């Protein structure tokens, strides 16, 4: 059985307060985007290990045992000890550490795939609980619909926004932005207007009002990322912003986009029609 975990972009991102658990309270809108990985799970007859994991596509850094898909399996295995041995294969197409939530999506889709394939009969609320244990963004991918997110990003309220008539361009320059560093550069504060209010305004107003708090420090340290945003606006984007803590920048276009974009920089560029 195979599924295709998609990525997300952040439509605005405010850091509201630091919590006692060292996380931060945020507000953002998560919007699903059809750039996808592929995840396959089949039963295994290898009695020496619970899970055989392999991957192709973009190289996944770090120890394979730390992969969030494997963590999803072991999280369920604790409560469902009869969960059988499996082979799991992940094909990565979503850039990692890029503000697109690709890893979180893989973990959430792994939970859903295991639930369906092995008839665990987990409700959506229970899947959301497991997903939150994997990571702050994971719960969104259980719902996988445009959502206003608060708390650590796990408190979700579906929001009525549809960008299907637009084209979304994703540009990743291959720069790794350390999320811990990015948070350390910010002073949490309550905004004058919530993202939930701004997002329901005409998209033409977003350029002036819909902000990602991480952009200021990230753009100062990495001017190349700022240049991507400026270039997307110059090419006719009605709105452009960095997703998450970076380094991916997206542009939302009403009309056809002039290609090629960023050819000389050899960036990862994907147009979602």
Which one is catalytic: 37, 92, 106, 137? 137
Does one domain contain both 173 and 106?
A: no
Provide the pLDDT for residue 259: 67
Residue pLDDT, tens place only, 148-157: 999 999 999 9
Angle at 234 between CA 216 and CA 170, to 5 degrees: 65
- Of 8, 92, 229, 270, the catalytic one is 8
The range of the structural domain enclosing residue 212 comes to 167-272
Sheet holding 268-272, edge to edge: 239-242, 249-253, 167-172, 268-272
Task: Based on the fold, state whether residues 41 and 120 are members of the same structural domain.
Answer: yes
Weakly modelled stretches of the chain, pLDDT under 70? 259
Instruction: Give the DSSP per-residue string, the chain.
Output: -EE--EEEEEEEEEEEEE-TTS-EEEEEEEEEEEEE-EEEEEE---TT-SEEEEEEES---S-GGG-HHHHHHHHHHHH-TTPPPEEEEEEE-SPTTSSS-HHHHHHHHHHHHHHHHTT----HHHHHHHHHHH-TTHHHHHH-S-EEEETTTTEEEE-----TTSEEEEEE-SPPPPHHHHHHT------SS-HHHHTTS-GGGHHHH--BTTHHHHHHH-HHHHHHHHHHHHTT-SEEEE-TTSS-EEEEESSPPPS--STTTT-EEEEE-
> What does pTM read for this prediction?
0.94
Name the nearest CA neighbour of 105 among 116, 118, 117, 91.
91
Any idea how long the chain is? 273
**65 and 148 in a common domain:** yes
Give the pLDDT confidence score for residue 273 in this predicted structure.
Answer: 76
Q: Are residues 8 and 130 in the same domain?
A: yes
Q: Is 50 a catalytic residue?
A: no
Contact 273, 165 (CB under 8 A): no
Residues 140 and 181 in one domain: no
Q: What pLDDT is stored for residue 83 in this prediction?
A: 94
**Is 189 found in the same domain as 87?**
no
Known catalytic residue at 8? yes
| CATH at residue 34 | 3.30.230.10
Instruction: Please identify, among 103, 137, 158, the residue that sits at the C-terminal boundary of a domain.
Output: 158
Same domain? For 21 and 109 the reply is yes
Cβ neighbours around 142 below 10 Å, total = 20
Q: Do 8 and 80 share a domain, yes or no?
A: yes
Are 103 and 177 members of one domain?
no
pLDDT tens per residue across span 103-122: 999 999 999 999 999 999 99
Residue 269, C-beta contacts closer than 8 angstroms, at least 6 positions apart: 169, 170, 171, 172, 260, 261, 262
Say what the pLDDT of residue 22 is.
80
Taking the CA atoms of residue 4, residue 10, residue 15 and residue 19 in that order, the dihedral angle to the nearest 10 degrees is -20
């Amino acid at each position: 059985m195979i599924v295709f975990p998609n990525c997300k972009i952040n439509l605005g991102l405010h850091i509201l307060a630091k919590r006692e658990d060292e996380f931060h309270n945020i507000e953002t809108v998560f919007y699903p985007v059809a750039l996808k990985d592929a995840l396959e799970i089949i039963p295994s007859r290898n009695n020496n290990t619970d899970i055989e994991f392999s991957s192709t596509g973009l190289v996944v850094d770090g120890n394979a045992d730390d992969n969030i898909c494997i963590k999803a399996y072991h999280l369920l295995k604790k409560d469902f000890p009869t969960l059988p041995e499996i082979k799991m294969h992940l094909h990565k197409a979503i850039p990692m550490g890029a503000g697109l939530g690709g890893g979180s999506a893989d973990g959430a889709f792994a939970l859903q795939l295991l639930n369906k394939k092995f008839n665990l009969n987990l409700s959506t609320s229970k899947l959301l609980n497991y997903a939150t244990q994997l990571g702050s963004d994971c719960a969104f991918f259980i719902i996988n619909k445009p959502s206003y997110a608060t708390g650590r990003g796990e408190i979700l309220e579906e929001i009525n926004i549809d960008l299907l008539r637009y084209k979304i361009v994703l540009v990743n320059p291959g720069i790794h932005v350390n999320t811990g560093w990015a948070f350390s550069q910010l002073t949490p504060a309550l905004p004058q207007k919530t993202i939930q209010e701004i997002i329901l305004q005409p998209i033409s107003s977003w350029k002036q009002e819909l902000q990602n708090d991480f952009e200021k420090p990230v753009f100062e340290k990495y001017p190349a990322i700022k240049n991507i945003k400026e270039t997307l606006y110059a090419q006719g984007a009605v709105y452009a912003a960095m997703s998450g803590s970076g380094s991916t920048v997206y542009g939302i276009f009403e009309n056809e986009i002039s290609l090629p974009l960023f050819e000389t920089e050899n960036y990862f560029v994907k147009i979602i029609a």
